[in-house]
Amino acid sequence: NAGVMQNPRHLVRRRGQEARLRCSPMKGHSHVYWYRQLPEEGLKFMVYLQKENIIDESGMPKERFSAEFPKEGPSILRIQQVVRGDSAAYFCASSPRQGTNTEAFFGQGTRLTVV
């Protein structure tokens, strides 16, 4: 059973471009979480999605950021018109069901560099 797959592992974008980060959850997992880790900091929650639904986006910046988890295919975190401050590692986690008494499994992250 493959783990949580994120791609690309590294992404370089120029200021003003769009960044698309993909996350394929573990088989059988229908809950996906995105976190952002700024340099020298811990992870900060961004958004929680189930298939075709955004459950909690309280950690998402109000502009330029969006996330989806379609019925088919991976979850996508999209950042439009990237700025230098968006440079960070973005981690996806998945779990089989809702509830904190279940473990969320993390991917290896996508490291975004904005130049």
Summarize as ranges the residues that interact with other proteins (CB under 8 A): 4, 31, 33, 35, 41-45, 48, 55-56, 91, 93, 95, 98-109, 111
* For other proteins, the closer CB: 25 or 114: 25
* For other proteins, the closer CB: 55 or 115: 55
Place of tokens 């998945």: 94
Least distance to other proteins, CB of residue 81, Å: 27
Phi, psi of 81 (to 5 degrees): 45, 60
Structure tokens at 74: 């991976």
* Half-sphere exposure of residue 51: CA atoms within 13 angstroms, side-chain side: 9
Least distance to other proteins, CB of residue 106, Å: 4
Least distance to other proteins, CB of residue 21, Å: 14
Give the closest residue to 109 by CA, choosing from 48, 52, 54, 33.
Answer: 33
